[in-house]
Copies of this chain bind each other. A is one copy, B any other.
Amino acid sequence: MKAYALLGGPRQLWPKNIKEILTAAQKNGDLIIGVDRGSFLLEELNIIPDLAIGDFDSLKPSELAKIEVTVKDIRYSNPIKDLTDSELMIQTAFKDYHVADLTLLGATGGRIDHFLVNLFMILNPDIRKFADQITLIDCQNKIKFFGAGEYKVQKEEGYPYFGVASLEEVKNLNILGSRYLLEKFSSLYPRIFSSNEFLPNTHSFDLKLDSGLVAVIFSKDIDRFYNI
């Protein structure tokens, strides 16, 4: 089973076709999750989540009441806690619902501390075991995660650029078969190699690392956001 989770990030950064994505997913029997304010935002899209997780402190009582009537599985988190709402959601999705992969929406933009929660949580040992099953999507970025290993990273249609961010100590990182190349790069601290591109007539690049965790950020320029 696939899963889609909507977090509380600003809707201006959601993928344009979010309603179509989520409606088709629900029709397909995929799991729909609302994280904190994301639960209410789903209901505003006329999509009732299967699972809602959060302390819901950003919701008005009337908004929370609506969720409590419609959502079958609600997990209340403690605002003073070891796991963030995003982390609790990921554990619940993979451990209780045994989902095969999980797409996070509304995970970017707005307060930068919130975005970094969603990016850095992948490094938490409880979460990183699911890293290769997690994707973040917004209106101009798609982020996937790769641990030690050797990969042919497939081009994502509509995203001409990619960047590779090592999120922690990395050993022997290689980016090959792309416009800009990187060979045997090691670092004790995070680094990002941005604005790379796929070679013409290719559909993948080669990624290899001996240790560490990297985020591959596929991206595109968009006029919509710039022209508001």
Q: Which of A17-25, A46-54, A88-96, A161-169 contacts B (4 or more CB under 8 A)?
A: A161-169
Chain B residues near A220 (CB-CB < 8 A)? 111
Whether B141 pairs with A111 at a CB distance below 8 angstroms is yes
Count identical subunits in the complex.
2
Q: How far is the CB of A36 from chain B (nearest CB, A)?
A: 11
Chain B, residue nearest A191 (CB): B120
Chain B residues near A191 (CB-CB < 8 A)? 120, 123-124
When the two chains form the complex, which single residue of B167, B188, B219 contacts A112, counting CB atoms closer than 8 Å? B219
Whether B140 pairs with A168 at a CB distance below 8 angstroms is no
Chain B, residue nearest A80 (CB): B180
A residues whose Cβ falls under 8 Å from a Cβ of B: 10-12, 80, 84, 108-114, 116-117, 120, 123-124, 140-141, 143, 161-163, 165, 167-169, 180, 188-192, 194-195, 217, 219-221, 225-226, 228
